Every structure is written in structure tokens, then in C-alpha cells.
Structure 1
Amino acid sequence: MHRRTLLFAISSSTSDTAITVAAEAAREQQAHLACLLLRTLPGMPHFAYGASAYGVMAVPDEWLETLQSCRTAQAARAAEVEALLSRSNTAGDVQYATGSDADIRLLAARRALSCDIAEAADGLREDPEVFRDSVHGILFGAPVPLMVNGSPLAPRKRIFLAWNSSLSAARAAHAALPYFKAAEEVVIGCFDPDMSDTRDGEDPGADMAAWLSHHGCTVTLSQFPSGGRDTGSAIQDRAREAGADLVVMGAYGHSRLRQAVFGGTTRSLLEQTALPVLFAH
């Protein structure tokens, strides 16, 4: 991760300690820490959604005062984050915004375009809307991977790659190659593979294992039956059994609507907080 730019998505709930730890790790790795401080707009009064006969939206002064207060607080917090970076002698920058869910997705995606990898900071989950929208913005609007529950700058000894021959899984594997090459072992797990020529092939995961071996990685390939359990829980169980300190997987192989309504592997791994996960879409 030397000389790389790390997008560090934070909210007002992200502690000084979490920011300082990230800043010190970035300094040690000579990385640039691009902090993005996000906050959702205060709730709009219900009657403001309608317009008058002259097409002018009526917004009460109290709401405008609340909005200005939020923006002032964001500016003050951004200044505090800048001070933390300065005290850590870390190369970095701080951008901040208060916006709607669409604004947050757009801002996160745009900032990630000029970064190498993104991290959802500790405390971001305490602002569920910010967490959801920043994650979606990065994964769907930028070409970089996203890590949750851990730092992209930390070394990893044993990595679990959840493999299913999909494009998103392949993108995740390519994004994680520097981690794979530095790890002691890469465990490839295929769950309920379809051993047809048009899906996973006769020996699912063998092509990925060969590719990683060519890069000098020590690879173990396993094919697991889910036993009727959801794949997200199966991945977590097998990763823990393997002693993995990082899971790598493709995100949103199914539509976001289907994931939101019925749940899914990506949603399951995003919601858990015990295992560091590197996602790519």
C-alpha cells in the first residue's frame, strides 16, 4: 500500500482515536489519507414537499436554521480532522458535505475515482444512511475496492477468497492481488458450485488457484456444500475455520433491490462486524 491514496469514509460518529490510528498507519505506509466526512440532510418537513400555486417550495425558517447548524458542525469537525492529520504528520486531505442520499452516493463515488482503495471507517455504521449510501456510491460508481471492519493498510496472513466465477468475484480477486502475494496462504472457497461448462467448470476454482500460484501464492482450494444455509453465513463460518484475517468477495452479484428485499450474501457480509472484508463490484 506504499504511495497509495486511501479514501477514508467517515461520519460525525467516527472517533478521534479511529482517525488517528488510520492516519498513523498511512504515515507508516507513505500513503495519502483522503478523508471524506459525510452527513445526511436533516429531515425535510412533510408539507415542504408540495409547492405553492406559484411553484415556490415553502420551507420553515427552523429547518433552514437546522441545516445551517449541521453545515457549521461539519465544517468544525472537518477542521478537527485536519488537525489530527497534522499532529500525526500524515499526508492527507479532508472534504466534507451534508446532503441527501443521492448526494452522498455521488460524492463518495467521485472522490473514490482518484483513490486506490476505500475504507468504511469505524463509527460509520452508527449513521446507517451514510454507511449505506457511501458503500453503494463507492462500489457502483468507482473502480476501486472497499474494505469494511479493518484497515486496508494492515498486513494479512491468511486470506479467504469466496469464489463463484462471477465478474464481481474476479474484480475482487484482482484488486486483492497485493494482499494475496504478501499473505502466507490464500484459501479459495467455492460454495455449491455449478460444475457445468457454462458456469463454474469441471473443477471450480482451479483456474483461479493456478493464477494465484503463478504469482507465487500458497493456495488451498476447497469446495463446500452450503447445507441449505445462506451463503453469507457459510462464508463466515468457513473463513473462521480457516483462521482467515480477511475475506475477499465480489459484491452485489444480484440486484440491489433483490438484496434489499430478500437479503443476500453481500448484505450479510456488510452487516457483520467481526471479519474484515474486501468488496469489489
Structure 2
Amino acid sequence: MFVMPHINGEDASYVPDIWFTNQADNTWDDLANFLNTDPLAALPSEETGAPSWMDDFQFDQFMEPQLISTLDQNQIPAPIVIPLPANKPEPSPSLSPVSVPLRTPSPTPAPVPAPARDTDADRYDSLDARWQAVLDRAQTSSFVYGVVSTKIYCRPTCPSRRPNRQNVAFYDTNEQATEAGFRPCKRCRPDDAAGEAAEQRQAAAVERAKFLIEERSKHGQRIPLDKLASQSGLSTFYFHRVFKRRTGFTPEEWGKLCRERLAGSTK
């Protein structure tokens, strides 16, 4: 037995309608004739109408209604329903590369230099440190000192004789000393910028000479006075005077002290 199904438009399920059987031999002959007929000629048209073979062909003899009626409704397969998406999915974004404009890096700003600190002011921020600088005739412009007994204020490098500690007052600037009733010293000229530059050059020359004397003393050698003066850019007489004024010793006496100190440290 062969089954030719068709789609029922009401429930969209497959239901067997026509059951072909081999009840009559002439059925197969008619079917063969139908299959061998030209498909275009077999179709009905407005001019020719239905073909003659369709008038003689009996479809009822191939149907067995009793078989259809005996089918249980539960045996008919339920339609497969595929739910459609509620919303149409949006297309995936394009994966094509996106051109990103190159950004030129901004130039790194130059670092701002930190404000310079007055190291001398930090070193001589106490009265004891300032007094020691006066005794050492230290080269610094961070303060001036006034002598109460003479009402004169000086630089720490002033070559004048050291006053007593109880007669000394310290000031940060020349203006403060002037407001306190002191006048500038005529020897060290603390109020003269040119004199300050000269003081700095002299102090640098003396410090360099002290270093050279100490280095030669380590090897048991002495350095002539004229050579020390030429290296400082001063005359021999003026260098000798400046050196003694700032250190309290002549260059020869300073060299002797260095040799004695080295000899005592080796014992």
C-alpha cells in the first residue's frame, strides 16, 4: 500500500487523504497512461477545458474512508511550531578596522627649578653659629654684626679685632643694623656692593692658599709665598696682609701648624 500525503491548510499537519490500493488491475493501467501523458497537455485550460481522461478517471475507487475514520486523533503527530523571534535581531556591527587619528604627544613642559635656598642662612640661623662665624671670619653675607660699644656694624670677615661677645648684636640685613642706630664699618664696608665682591675674592684666595699649604704639609713640603700670591692673583705684600688678616696667621705660620697637627696625629 502506498500513501500520497498532502498538507492540510487548516492545521498545517500532514494527514493521509488518498490511499492507493491494488483493488483493480485497470487502475494501474490508467495511472500509467496518466504518467505517460504530456504534462502540459494534461493540464486544463480555458480553451480545451478538462482532458477527456479526467472524465473517465474515478478517484473514489482508490479511497478507503473507513481507514481514515478509524485513525485516533492522538496518533496524528502534533505540528512542530517554531516560534519566531519577537524582534528582528540587529545585524552585528562591522568588524572592519576603524581608523583612529594619531595624536601628537604634547611636549613635556620643562621642569620648574625650585627656588634657590640660602644655605648660609640655614647654616647661621642661631646666635652661637653666627658668633663662631665671626671668630672664624667666615665668608658669608647672610648677616652682619654690630658692636654696641662703638655703634659700628661689620661683616663677619672684617679684619678688625674681635669684640667681646656681650657687646655684639646680629642683624640679617644692613637696613636692620642702620635702623638700630649702627653705621657701616670703613674697613670692611658692609654697605658697599663692590667691597662685598672684593671681600669674596679675597676670601676665596685665602681658602685656596690654605688648601695648598695643607696638601704640601702632608708630604713634608713647603710652598713659597710668591707662588701662593701668584695663584691668588694678588701681589706678595697684599696677599700676605690679607691672609694674616683673615686667619690671624702668616702663610708660614699656617704651614707650621699644619705640620705639627699631622705629626701629632701620626703618634
Does the TM-score normalized on the shorter chain lie above 0.5? no
> Which protein, 1 or 2, shows the higher relative CO under an 8 Å CA cutoff with sep ≥ 6?
1
Q: Which has the higher strand share?
A: 1
TM-score (norm 2): 0.20
TM-score (norm 1): 0.19
Answer with 1 or 2: which has the greater Rg.
2
